Amino acid sequence: MSEDWDEKSHTGSLDRSAGDSSEGPSTVPEGVLELDPVYDALAHPRRRYLCYTLLSEDEQSVADIAEKIAAWEADVPAAAVTEERKERVSLSLYHTHIPKLVEHDVVTLDSDDEIISTAENTEQVLSALESVGATLDSAQESHAQSVGNDE
Amino acid sequence: MSHDDTPSAGDDEPVLAQRQYDPGAGGELATEVILAVAEAAGVDPAEIRTPPLYECIDTEAVESVFFTPGTRTGQATGFVEFSYDDHPVRISSDGWIEVFDTGPNTGEESSSSPSS
């Protein structure tokens, strides 16, 4: 048993004591080190929700997304979401979540600040979402893809 | 955006607006900061689009340092201060967000700047 554990820890660990990072551990696939956009994009439920909406449509209005997120969080139909709730979600989208996703090229925001659309890294994020989504966030996913006909 | 003359909130500068962020209420710190800034500026919060707050401060990072009960690293005490729209903004670990007036002497270094 202890031998098994030993083997695994060897194959999976980076040698942190290595002083010269220039060489780098050759065993780590390059792609693993480039997953920052994925992890950062998916680290917050509102960003995950936003990304889910891009699974069904390439373009979404920020107002629609804010309404859906507010409905999902309050567990009410979209029509029952108050303007205040919608605005609060919208502010967080405009001021933290969308800028973060734009920074990582996961979405783009149009010049009028109204419509978000897919970008270079969207596919990478969506495939990561799809692989975990079925088990972890399926309720969120199906809510995000429903188009307001939840009455 | 300049980094060298970021106004610092001295104790003598008037507070234009303040709100308390309640981490348990389900809202986001960024939302509360923008609501406070809007109140200070006397405008509709929805009119404040640029710059995104994210360009001035990562509020998620502040949430994770000050406002994450039940974690070892999420309950630090103190405050962070940054400048948004020429106003010094201070977020304290007790949840208070204060937006200060720029003050008449923005060029002067305040003697009460937080030690680094």
In angstroms, the separation between the Cα of residue A133 and the nearest Cα of chain B is: 23
Query: Does position A31 have pLDDT exceeding 80, yes or no?
Result: no
In angstroms, the separation between the Cα of residue B111 and the nearest Cα of chain A is: 31
Is the pTM here over 0.80, yes or no? Answer: no
H or E segment to which residue B16 belongs: strand B15-20
Do the Cβ atoms of B52 and A95 come within 8 Å?
Answer: yes
The burial class, CB within 10 Å (0-12 / 13-18 / 19+), for A127 is: exposed
In angstroms, the separation between the Cα of residue B44 and the nearest Cα of chain A is: 11
CB pairs under 8 A between A and B: 45
Q: Is B18 helix (H, G, I), strand (E, B) or coil?
A: strand
Query: Does position B62 have pLDDT exceeding 60, yes or no?
Result: yes
Higher-pLDDT residue of B77 and A7 is B77
First to last CA, chain A: 55
Give me the DSSP letters along B47-115.
G--SS-GGGT--HHHHHHHHS-TTSSSS---SEEEEEETTEEEEEETTSEEEEE---S-TTSPPTTPPP
| Average pLDDT score, chain B | 83
Out of A44, A89, A113, closest to residue B49 by CB: A113
pLDDT at position A7: 43
ipTM at complex level = 0.79
pLDDT at position B109: 45
Residues B7, A100, A93, CA angle at the centre, nearest 5°? 90
How would residue A128 be classed by pLDDT, with cut points 50, 70 and 90? confident
| Average pLDDT score, chain A | 79
Out of B52, B58, B60, closest to residue A94 by CB: B52
How would residue A23 be classed by pLDDT, with cut points 50, 70 and 90? low
Out of B35, B46, B60, closest to residue A96 by CB: B60
Q: What is the pLDDT of residues B14-35, one digit of tens each?
A: 999 999 999 988 899 999 999 9
In angstroms, the separation between the Cα of residue B32 and the nearest Cα of chain A is: 8
Q: What percent of chain B has pLDDT over 70?
A: 78
Q: What is the pLDDT of residues A43-81, one digit of tens each?
A: 999 999 999 888 888 999 999 999 999 999 999 999 999
Nearest CA in chain A to B29: A92
What is the rounded average pLDDT of the residues A103-130?
91
Query: Does position A106 have pLDDT exceeding 60, yes or no?
Result: yes
Quick one: which of B73, B75, B92 has its CA closest to B9? B92
pLDDT at position A113: 84
Higher-pLDDT residue of B57 and A57 is B57
Which residue do the tokens 């405050």 mark? B79
pLDDT at position A21: 47
pLDDT at position A117: 95
Are the C-beta atoms of B64 and B47 separated by less than 8 Å? no
Put simply, whether A94 touches B (Cβ < 8 Å) is yes
H or E segment to which residue A109 belongs: strand A107-109
